Amino acid sequence: MLQSQLFTKTSKDAPKDEVSINAKLLSRGGFVDKTMAGVYSILPLGNLVLSKIENIVRQELNAIGAQELLMPALQPKEIWKKTGRWNDLDVLFKVTSRFKSEYALGPTHEEVLVPVAQKFISSYKDMPISVYQIQTKFRDEARAKSGLLRGREFRMKDLYSFHTDEQDLDEYYQKATKAYQNIFVRLGLNSILTEASGGTFSKYSHEFQVEIPTGEDVIFICKKCNYGVNKEISKDGKCPKCLNIGEQLKTSEVGNIFKLNTKYSKPFDFMFSDDKGEKQFVIMGCYGIGTTRALGTIVEVHNDKDGIIWPKAVSPYDVHLLSLQPDDKTVRMETDKIYKALQKGHHTVLYDDRDVRPGVKFADSDLIGIPSRIVISKKTLDKQSVEIKERRSGKVEIIKIQNLKL
Amino acid sequence: MLQSQLFTKTSKDAPKDEVSINAKLLSRGGFVDKTMAGVYSILPLGNLVLSKIENIVRQELNAIGAQELLMPALQPKEIWKKTGRWNDLDVLFKVTSRFKSEYALGPTHEEVLVPVAQKFISSYKDMPISVYQIQTKFRDEARAKSGLLRGREFRMKDLYSFHTDEQDLDEYYQKATKAYQNIFVRLGLNSILTEASGGTFSKYSHEFQVEIPTGEDVIFICKKCNYGVNKEISKDGKCPKCLNIGEQLKTSEVGNIFKLNTKYSKPFDFMFSDDKGEKQFVIMGCYGIGTTRALGTIVEVHNDKDGIIWPKAVSPYDVHLLSLQPDDKTVRMETDKIYKALQKGHHTVLYDDRDVRPGVKFADSDLIGIPSRIVISKKTLDKQSVEIKERRSGKVEIIKIQNLKL
């Protein structure tokens, strides 16, 4: 991609109303644009990162046999009345049609999915089974000041599993936990499995928390058990496993998993025939990862004073190629040649071909945060060399062009 | 994918309230589930098809240099007031927050995109440029009885282009037309470029119409010019190019393109400096394809009395592998072997391993509509052979296993 043709431009200053690091850096870098509090456009650079995040999520969930589907945001009032959440869920957005019907704007999808699952699951032989979607959710949040960490509209992966008994749910819950840990490792996030309350959803749950200085959550982490507990359910900080007092951390939640048991199968009378032909309620689990929130969290964790430092697996491009004298014929020719060779080697490249000062290019490159930078200038070309800089370590190397790994 | 583990099951009867062919077949095959009028869940089989459709759209738009982004559905009232569409657009869904703010639920995205584009486009040097998204749209439609052809919630690709003058817009409009024609060819849709009214959006426009017997639109097609005109703007059926009377057809629209000119740049005062340093309004074009509507249209075109006949490029799987005696050890072993060999050869396979009668398997296979069927049975295995059936032609071949193209 030629940077001169990129839809977005960087800016020196973040919008004045942004307070979070993720929103400031993502806005300045041209990754997102704020439409209103808690609602963002994900611009082309941001969309490249988001697609990578969502594909990692997809791969790890497909690996545990979950099947992807896509449920609607617009949902009939009746199904929300059935579970009592039409009145009980304060963040539920309600829509009135010009034909007077009322709809919910999906903040989660148990109410839509259970009636669908009911059509296909009737016997113990139909389980275990799990489905997920990566889709846009809506929640009428009171506070939406943390950039992409808490949105009124946001992207989320929600997985739902169906089981004959609690033991089968437990087994899948362990599998999902492992899949989540794999996902967060691949996203460059050091997640802490944390015991938590289930909110309005479930009695107990687990969260995957990531330490960030401005996190909205507080947890106690037990280093011995490598296990956290949310301060909301443990004011004394005792580890639920060994009862030692944990270390207090500020964190942000990137995922959560719930044992729903029969919470949603009961109101819909969602039953199956067991191996003795007797009717039983289906046991359910649900598992969420906010993918736009993960994007924001990655930025909160991976940045320095100059900008973002993307982990390789989610970087919008593999290489940032900077031509310092784009008007010089030799520099232009050599840079074009390296650009093409990198692409041929299946590297994605952002090529800064803009007619601006080198200082501007370096600052923009630091801000945008692509892991590897290759700088082409007359000075090094005279020695048949280019400069390579690693964004994270700041390590600079001068390499002969013939030795470039393309 | 083992069919015994597929989330969905086929059904003999379509839901009673479905009248359209696409909704009947897609529901019976387990591709979609109706949540309410005009709102569907896209189930795993349907999601595989939709992903393929959306990736074809993505490839052809990337090829004409458009950059993908993702804009929000929840949009502030103010921007819709600015263009007058808060009051004028009858299909606009409105949402009221519990904090009293009012929002629009995006039926299209000019109002969101123009203020974003305004931040990055200020000079003639910044154009031409184009961006698109594949995203969920909401329209409070009066009638929603055509299955996936007319939804209250639906997936859409919307592309927007920005230009310095009308000539540049004309050139891009031609490029987009060609890209659209490529897309529809790849989707197995014979599209007719049709002159049409711009509705509330624009004065003139072009539609891409596909002939289907139950289509909601009527066009006149001029065979000589290979050009259509929508009956809405030409009651006499005269070809806009050669003035011959065209043949009347019932059709369904799968795409449309509009020259917006300054319709949306004016209300937002979206201007650029031309090469003489003078301020001018930005010229815009917009280009839509409903991807869920395309899914429905493909089914309307490609079906017979037994079910769907997917074009290869959008089929949920490449091969439907039927084991007629799944309990027979030899049949099971041979089918497993062919299943693995097909997957190794990068074919996607739906493997019917279910313990049901052959007649049920054949009927389900016809309904689901995967282009190639391989049938494994004791009878043919005795001759080291399998049966191959082409869904579209019905052509059956008995082939030696060693000659199978895997």
- Min Cα–Cα distance to chain B from A259, Å: 20
Contact A72 B40 (CB under 8 A): yes
Q: Which residues of B touch A65 (CB under 8 A)?
A: 5
Contact B41 A5 (CB under 8 A): no
- Min Cα–Cα distance to chain A from B396, Å: 32
Residue in chain A nearest B90 by alpha carbon? A98
- pTM beyond cutoff 0.95: yes
* Nearest neighbour of B136 by CB, restricted to A35, A116, A136: A136
Contact B41 A70 (CB under 8 A): yes
Alpha carbon distances (Å) from B236 to A233, A237, A371, B90: 74, 81, 63, 29
- Min Cα–Cα distance to chain A from B247, Å: 38
- Min Cα–Cα distance to chain A from B393, Å: 30
Phi, psi of B49 (to 5 degrees): -65, -45
Domains in chain A: boundaries: 3-304, 317-403
Contact A76 B36 (CB under 8 A): yes
Q: Are B371 and B390 in contact (CB under 8 A)?
A: yes
* Nearest neighbour of A93 by CB, restricted to B95, B116, B142: B95
Contact A44 B68 (CB under 8 A): yes
* Nearest neighbour of B138 by CB, restricted to A35, A43, A74: A74
Vertex A302 angle, CA A296 and A306, to 5°: 105
* Amino acid symbol at B221: I
A·B CB contacts under 8 A = 140
> What span, in angstroms and rounded, lies between the C-alpha atoms of A138 and A156?
10
| A3-304 homologous superfamily | Bira Bifunctional Protein; Domain 2 (3.30.930.10)
Looking only at the bridges linking them, the beta strands covering A283-290 and A247-261 are antiparallel
* Amino acid symbol at A18: E
- Min Cα–Cα distance to chain B from A9, Å: 6
Q: Which residues of B touch A88 (CB under 8 A)?
A: none
* Nearest neighbour of A90 by CB, restricted to B90, B98, B120: B98
Estimate to the nearest angstrom the gap between the alpha carbon of B333 and the chain centroid: 39
Q: Which residues of A touch B120 (CB under 8 A)?
A: 7-9, 30
* Nearest neighbour of A33 by CB, restricted to B36, B43, B116: B116
Which tens digits make up the pLDDT trace of A101-124? 999 999 999 999 999 999 999 999
The ipTM estimated for the assembled molecules is: 0.97
At A405 the pLDDT is 81
Q: Are B389 and B373 in contact (CB under 8 A)?
A: yes
Contact A74 B39 (CB under 8 A): yes
At B124 the pLDDT is 98
Specify the DSSP element, H or E, that contains A258.
strand A247-261
Q: Are B45 and B30 in contact (CB under 8 A)?
A: yes
- Min Cα–Cα distance to chain A from B94, Å: 6
Phi, psi of A212 (to 5 degrees): -140, 140
Contact B5 A41 (CB under 8 A): no
* Nearest neighbour of A39 by CB, restricted to B72, B98, B142: B72
DSSP string, B285-324: EEEEEEHHHHHHHHHHHSEETTEE---GGG-S-SEEEEES
At A50 the pLDDT is 98
- Min Cα–Cα distance to chain B from A54, Å: 14
Whether the ω angle into residue B115 lies within 30 degrees of 0, i.e. cis, is no
Residue in chain B nearest A37 by alpha carbon? B76
- Min Cα–Cα distance to chain A from B394, Å: 30
> What span, in angstroms and rounded, lies between the C-alpha atoms of B162 and B168?
9
pLDDT < 70 positions in chain A: 199-203
* Long-range interactions of A177-183: CB distance < 8 A, separation 24+: A177/A206, A177/A257, A179/A60, A179/A61, A179/A63, A179/A64, A180/A60, A180/A208, A180/A255, A180/A257, A180/A287, A180/A289, A181/A208, A182/A60, A183/A56, A183/A57, A183/A60, A183/A255, A183/A289
Residue in chain A nearest B137 by alpha carbon? A73
Looking only at the bridges linking them, the beta strands covering A74-76 and A283-290 are unpaired
At A191 the pLDDT is 97
* Nearest neighbour of B35 by CB, restricted to A6, A75, A142: A75
Domain spanning B7-304, CATH class: alpha beta
Contact A95 B95 (CB under 8 A): yes
Q: Which residues of A touch B36 (CB under 8 A)?
A: 74-76
- Min Cα–Cα distance to chain B from A47, Å: 6
* Nearest neighbour of A7 by CB, restricted to B8, B120, B140: B120
At A199 the pLDDT is 65
Contact A35 B112 (CB under 8 A): yes
Specify the DSSP element, H or E, that contains B174.
helix B166-186
Mutate to test the interface with B, among A36, A145, A158 (most CBs of B within 10 A): A36
Contact B72 A7 (CB under 8 A): no
Contact A5 B129 (CB under 8 A): yes
| B317-403 homologous superfamily | Anticodon-binding domain (3.40.50.800)
* Nearest neighbour of B41 by CB, restricted to A67, A71, A105: A71
Vertex A114 angle, CA A108 and A120, to 5°: 140
What percent of the residues of chain B are helix, what percent strand, and what percent coil, each to the nearest 5? 30, 30, 35
At A119 the pLDDT is 97
DSSP H helices, A29-155, are 44-63, 77-82, 85-88, 110-120
* Nearest neighbour of B69 by CB, restricted to A47, A74, A142: A47
Angle between helices A291-301 and A44-63 (to 10 degrees): 110
Contact A69 B47 (CB under 8 A): yes
At A56 the pLDDT is 98
- Min Cα–Cα distance to chain B from A405, Å: 27
Q: Which residues of B touch A42 (CB under 8 A)?
A: 69-71
pLDDT < 70 positions in chain B: 199-203
At B143 the pLDDT is 82
Q: Are B154 and B292 in contact (CB under 8 A)?
A: yes
Q: Which residues of A touch B94 (CB under 8 A)?
A: 95-96
Which tens digits make up the pLDDT trace of B160-193? 999 999 999 999 999 999 999 999 999 999 999 9
